[in-house]
Structure 1
Amino acid sequence: MSSADLERGGGAKARRTNNNYYVDNSDQEWTSWLIPMFVAANVAVFVVAMYINDCPKNHRGSEGACMARFLGRFSFQPLKENPLFGPSSSTLDKLGALEWYKVVYQHQGWRLLSCIWLHAGVIHLVANMLSLVFIGIRLEQQFGFMRVGMLYLLSGFGGSILSALFIQNNISVGASGALFGLLGAMLSELITNWTVYSKKAAALFTLIFIIAINLAVGILPHVDNFAHIGGFLTGFLLGFVFLPQPQFGWAESQYLPANSSVRSKYKPYQYVLGVLSLVLLIVGFTVGLVTLFKGENGNNHCSWCHYLSCVPTSQWSCGNR
């Protein structure tokens, strides 16, 4: 039995179609444990951040008093400073928030990954963790912890790269890039496994609508939509690499009668999409990292790209991004 079948923890069933046999794994699911661990890790990091923040002791500003002072050292920064009910920006910076100058000139590239475990406040954390539970658990049950874990981390990394290239005057934190990567992977999974879905159009339009709404929210001020876009594009490409499903089943000798013919595991277009996506990922990560560590500002090469993250209106300004 293959390692994938061992991870699923169930037995496959041999079926017959036109004298060709295939193995049906459609009724098997993995047990989701990695996504709950990610949720627990994000919550734990936020608790640590609030402990280190210690607003009653360290707050000396003029923005007002700490919020929820009954929480002691876990009380929040004043709302004028952080309306999301969380720590100060200096605390987030200390713990590994994404900051362009420190990544490029102080050689702290680890911030490209550490920032995805930090959150600006309770509201930020709850919104992201609810999304992670609803999206991630289903994906892990269907495709296993290894592939979904790689999707999450690499998408978060890709989002951080694009964010650092275009937002260089503010810090950035949050798992949103990784979450958008899971959404992107869901879209590419639908495309590459198109023939196994019964209600294709409905699934496609629903998913595109959800993605469009979430990206549209990113044009509001103080939302890092570049992390969203970078994570989405990374996850979209990774989905073609990690999430193709056998279109005719995977035949294994112990399930088949002797001298039976075996169909191909994947269709040719799945191989093409997978190879092309892998090449684009390698090129994109290489160009992005080289450009970033050379100290380039992405806005200098794209005069309109700043509108992807914030669109100024009469109600708000985008500030110096």
Structure 2
Amino acid sequence: MENPSKPKSQIGDCSGDLRSSAAADPHRDKFPFFRHRSRQISRDTWLISVFVLLQIVIFAVTMGVNDCPGNSYGDCAAEFLGRFSFQPLSENPMLGPSASTLEHMGALRSNILAESREIWRIFTSQWLHSGLFHLLSNLGSLIFVGIYMEQEFGPMRIAAIYVLSSALGSLFAVVFVQDIPSVCPAAALFGLIGAMLSALARNWNLYSNKTSAIMLIVVISSVNFLLGFLPYIDNFANIGGLVSGFLLGFVLLFAPQLRQVPPHKASFLKSEIKRSEKLKEKFDRPILRIICLALFCVM
């Protein structure tokens, strides 16, 4: 166990930890595409676990409120679930609630925002899903990306990026919202993806298998973006979340926690750190953080 009194080392300060064995971290290769060649990090991922649990609970509550057998005239999907069964596939192919239920639970809709001024929908729409397929796709991507980011940069900064990206994504959705209920829970996910891109740019030389890392980000983004063309999902929120997360990454993700490497890689790491510090100096200048923060506020 790591000594809590020992200060965490920064990127250029990890040579003293290079003697540690890789065996001290049996999960070191859990994320091989994004592995830092550096010291051990914390495995505490309570923040993403809380967000995932909340979204599952809210989806269950939404399906309970929907009560397909009691409120629908068609044949419900998965009727054995009782009031938690899904709307007919002809109405919602994502295995989810009806449009009226989504609207009742807080989805975005242009006429309601314009006439009733129900601004609170900007926040509630971030936690709703159009169906079970949407929920599983979003949470699967969130678990993979979110756990990695929380391990690398800690829960507080990731929580700020998650919440702010989600809020800005919802504001983007409001600008382009149509007269049908729409939800935007993936805005937070795209915010974390954008922050991952900026973190990758800042610490380029400290990542292994960079091509695979970029390809994996592209695949996750593409799958979730394509889902945005299905009913009740807003892709404008995803775009807003991605841009805001990228900007916030340059503002907040300036000191990643670092992992261990085996001793035989020590000399290679030292040379990489020297090259990385030159690149990092360009990205760590306060002027860049100020510009990115200003752009985020303007958005």
**Shared fold by TM > 0.5?**
yes
For 2:96 and 2:224, locate their aligned partners in 1 and report how far apart those are by CA, in whole Å.
24
Distance in 2, matches of 1:32 and 1:14, equals 20
* Alpha-carbon distance change, 158 to 11 in structure 1, aligned in 2, over 3 angstroms: same
> How far off its partner does 1:171 sit?
1.6
CA pair 146-198 structure 1, distance change in 2 beyond 3 A: same
3-state secondary structure, aligned to 1:267:
helix
Whole-Å Cα distance in 2 between the matches of residues 275 and 215 of structure 1? 30
Give runs of aligned pairs for residues 96-175 of structure 1, distance below 5 A. Answer: 96-175=106-185
Q: Which secondary structure state, in structure 2, belongs to the residue aligned with residue 65 of structure 1?
A: coil
Counterpart in the other structure of 1:11: 6
Displacement after TM superposition at 1:269 (Å): 3.1
Q: State yes or no: 1:267 paired with 2:281.
A: yes
Counterparts of 1:36 and 1:198, CA distance in 2: 27
Q: State whether structure 2 residue 244 is matched by structure 1 residue 229.
A: no
Q: How does 1:1-321 map to 2 (within 5 A)?
A: 11-12=6-7, 26-60=39-73, 64-197=74-207, 199-200=209-210, 202=211, 205-206=214-215, 209-210=218-219, 213-214=222-223, 217=226, 220-222=229-231, 223-245=233-255, 267-271=281-285, 272-284=287-299
Structure 1 residues 15-59: Cα deviation after superposition (integer angstroms, max 9, x where no partner): 9x8xx9988783232510010111110010011111111111111
Give SS of 2:284's match: helix
What do the CA deviations read for 1:234-253 (whole angstroms, capped 9, x no partner)?
A: 11111111112279xxxxxx
Q: 1:210 Cα shift? A: 2.9
Question: Which residue is 2:25 aligned to?
Answer: none
1 CA distance for matches of 2:153 and 2:8?
18
- CA change 1:9–1:35 in 2 (3 A) is farther
Q: CA offsets, 1:102-127, max 9 Å, x none? A: 23432222211211111111111111
What is the CA deviation profile of residues 189-238 of structure 1, one whole-angstrom value per residue up to 9, with x for unaligned ones? Answer: 111233433555x2664256336634762574535221111110111111
Distance of 2:155 and 2:9 partners within structure 1:
25
Equivalent-residue separation in structure 2 for 1:44 and 1:140 (angstroms): 22
Instruction: Please give the TM-score of this superposition, normalised by the length of structure 2.
Output: 0.75
CA contact (8 A) 1:155 1:232 kept: yes
Asked whether the equivalents of residues 184 and 238 of structure 2 are also in contact (C-alpha less than 8 Å), the reply is no
Q: Is the 1:193–1:244 Cα contact (8 Å) retained in structure 2?
A: no
Structure number with bigger Rg? 1
For structure 1, the 5+ residue unaligned runs are 1-5, 248-262, 285-321
Pair 65,279 (structure 1): closer, same or farther in 2 beyond 3 Å: same
Higher relative contact order (CA 8 A, sep 6+): 2
Paired amino acid for 2:48: I
Corresponding residue SS for 2:218: helix
Name the % identity.
Answer: 43
CA RMSD, 1 decimal: 3.1
- Kept in 2, the 8 Å contact 1:84–1:124? The answer is yes
Look up the equivalent residue of 1:46 and give its one-letter code.
Answer: F
Inter-CA distance 207–126: structure 2 relative to 1 (3 Å threshold): closer
Scaled by the length of structure 1, what TM-score is found? Answer: 0.70
